């Protein structure tokens, strides 16, 4: 759930609401996930999101992890079943997903403070660090515009890209 949430820039409620039938396996091995109807998709206009394979490191490949999970639990799932659930096959709610995120992060580092939106914030921050253009991040996060994306941009991302060095450099002055 965490890897898929990170890759989707997902809100906790989006992960909680995902159904088994919202996953489509593509012939090329990628998957499509239907998130239509999320918080800002009032008119159900959102197109399914394609998730591609992570070829260099299969241990963190969202497609492989999701397929492995689905193979393990398929015996009690139907199209309208929650994609992520315990064996009771009952949907998680937003708070459940937020708590799962917090518990996972506490296990990694008990000193870190996280919120339910940490997957979304982390994916946005990582995108900035890697130099992904803002418009691509907006498309990935499904934000309306740059202004609505700003609360998710961590300053560490700018520091990691050496913003101070770039800003204070006299290079590139014409």
> Which tens digits make up the pLDDT trace of 28-60?
989 988 877 555 555 445 677 888 888 788 888
> Per-residue pLDDT averaged across 140-152, rounded?
78
Q: What is the pLDDT of residue 138?
A: 85
Q: Is the dihedral of CA 74, 77, 82, 85 positive or negative?
A: negative
> C-alpha angle 20/22/24, rounded to 5°?
100
What residues does each domain of the chain span? 2-111, 117-174
- DSSP, collapsed to helix, strand or coil, labels residue 24 as strand
- What is the C-alpha separation between 40 and 62, in angstroms, rounded? 24
Q: Please state the pTM of the whole predicted model.
A: 0.71
- Report residue 144 as tokens: 């309306």
Give the pLDDT score at 165: 55
| DSSP secondary structure string for all residues of 59-117 | GG-HHHHHHHHHHHHGGG--TTSBSS--TT-----HHHHHHHHHHHHHHH-TT----TT
């Amino acid at each position: 759930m965490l890897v898929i949430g990170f890759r989707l820039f997902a809100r906790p409620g989006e992960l909680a609401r995902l159904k088994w039938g919202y996953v489509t396996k593509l012939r090329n091995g990628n998957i499509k996930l239907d998130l239509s109807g999320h918080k800002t998709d009032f008119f159900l206009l959102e197109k399914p999101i394609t998730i591609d394979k992570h070829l260099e490191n299969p241990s963190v490949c969202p497609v492989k992890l999701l397929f492995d999970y689905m193979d393990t639990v398929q015996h009690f799932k139907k199209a309208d079943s929650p994609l992520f659930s315990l064996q009771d096959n009952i949907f998680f709610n937003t708070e459940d997903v937020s708590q799962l995120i917090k518990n996972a992060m506490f296990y990694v580092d008990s000193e870190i403070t996280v919120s339910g939106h940490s997957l979304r914030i982390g994916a946005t921050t990582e995108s900035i660090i890697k130099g992904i253009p803002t418009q691509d991040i907006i498309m990935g996060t499904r934000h309306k515009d740059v202004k609505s994306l700003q609360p998710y941009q961590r300053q560490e991302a700018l520091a990691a890209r050496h913003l101070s060095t770039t800003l204070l450099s006299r290079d590139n002055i014409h």
